[in-house]
């Protein structure tokens, strides 16, 4: 019975891996065979999500694949992020952590203020505005799903908010790596901070960082973007109680959320992988053991495979009809939220650059 229960995930996982393999193949054919580069200038992760969107909206995905795709999108994604921790050396992130936290706080406050103004101007439902704002500022769909029961959002409001975040998250994921490289002149610290604070979903940030790494050969940017986003995710612990208080003010004093339920535990796995890397460096590098470097490179490869599989799964489960069914007003709010967090991120980074120059 236990084996049968777990076998239902396999078809979807295999489908995601096939799309990863197709994406890698297309990448090699276009970038290396046709364009003649030694290393393809095209991102495998970008091809994977675009192929996923194409196939997912051209053909009906059978129910037998759905559970495995959901598993890939949620758990294999997190496993890929955990594996990314192997790339970080001791306290490497402290140099940008002291910049990332104030930057995240400023972005969150700015979007909340803008959304509050938009609620009055556009007269959209308060609950939908709350869902879009927390999705834009913290961690996308995860934040929306965690907040929905707290503010008693209905199914349509949840669906609209998720479609909104998906649309603008995918747009920013595909555009921002190139924009950031141009705007910040390839400076990995600032590009990583921008990607980590301005893109909605953890998966989208990981994909944008991976696209940047594959396009501009900057593993450091991928690391910085990922850690910045993981720091940003932990703000969910503060935002859920805050939204519960704001929405239920003067109504019910019921506390229907749990810190244990909303804490992103894969962050601990990511931190654990950093510790493993550092302990391994201390033990094996001293012994001049090349096997440890092979293990590091293998885990790095796994992280890229897992993340690209997750991108394919996200593409396959992105329904363009749902996005098209959004009303104009939520679309405007989502666009303004995306623009606000992006602009505030740039301005704050510019202020930091000015202050140290």
- With a pLDDT cut of 90, the percent of the chain lying above it is 12
Is residue 225 within 8 A of residue 195, CB to CB? The reply is yes
- Residue 34's pLDDT is 73
Q: Following CA atoms 11, 12, 13, 15 in sequence, which dihedral angle do they give, to the nearest 10 degrees? A: 90
| Cα–Cα distance, 104 to 138 (Å, whole number) | 9
What is the band of 286 on the pLDDT scale with cuts at 50, 70, 90?
low
- Residue 261's pLDDT is 61
| Cα–Cα distance, 124 to 126 (Å, whole number) | 6
Q: What's the pLDDT tens digit per position in 77-90? A: 888 878 877 876 65
Average pLDDT over residues 16-38: 80
> 211 is written with which tokens?
């696209």
Domain ranges for the chain: 92-306+314-356
What is the band of 142 on the pLDDT scale with cuts at 50, 70, 90?
low
């Amino acid at each position: 019975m236990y084996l049968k229960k777990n076998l239902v995930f396999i078809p979807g996982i295999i489908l995601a891996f096939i799309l990863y393999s197709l994406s890698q193949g297309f990448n090699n054919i276009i970038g290396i065979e046709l364009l003649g580069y030694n290393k393809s200038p095209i991102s495998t992760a970008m091809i994977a999500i675009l192929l996923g969107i194409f196939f997912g909206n051209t053909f009906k995905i059978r129910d037998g694949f759905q559970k495995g795709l959901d598993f890939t999108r949620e758990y294999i994604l997190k496993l890929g992020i955990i594996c990314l921790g192997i790339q970080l050396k001791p306290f490497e992130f402290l140099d940008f952590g002291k910049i990332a936290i104030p930057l995240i706080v400023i972005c969150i406050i700015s979007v909340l203020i803008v959304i509050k103004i938009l609620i009055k101007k556009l007269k959209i439902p308060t609950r939908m505005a709350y869902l879009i704002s927390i999705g834009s500022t913290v961690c996308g769909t995860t934040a929306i799903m965690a907040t929905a029961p707290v503010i008693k959002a209905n199914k349509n409001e949840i669906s609209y908010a998720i479609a909104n975040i998906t649309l603008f998250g995918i747009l920013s994921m595909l555009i921002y790596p190139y924009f950031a490289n141009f705007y910040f002149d390839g400076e990995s610290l600032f590009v990583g901070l921008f990607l980590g604070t301005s893109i909605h979903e953890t998966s989208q940030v990981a994909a944008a960082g991976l696209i940047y790494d594959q396009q501009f050969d900057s593993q450091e940017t991928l690391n910085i973007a990922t850690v910045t986003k993981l720091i940003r995710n932990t703000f969910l612990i503060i935002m859920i109680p805050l939204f519960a208080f704001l929405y239920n003010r003067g109504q019910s004093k019921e506390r229907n959320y749990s810190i244990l339920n909303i804490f992103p535990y894969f962050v601990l796995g990511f931190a654990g992988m950093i510790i493993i890397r550092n302990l391994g460096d201390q033990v094996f590098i001293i012994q001049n053991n090349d096997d440890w470097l092979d293990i590091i490179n293998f885990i790095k490869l796994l992280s890229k495979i897992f993340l690209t599989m997750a991108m394919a799964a996200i593409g396959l489960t992105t329904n363009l009809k749902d996005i098209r069914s959004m009303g104009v007003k939520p679309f405007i709010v989502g666009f303004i939220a995306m623009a606000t967090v992006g602009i505030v991120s740039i301005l704050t980074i510019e202020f930091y650059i000015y202050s140290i120059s």
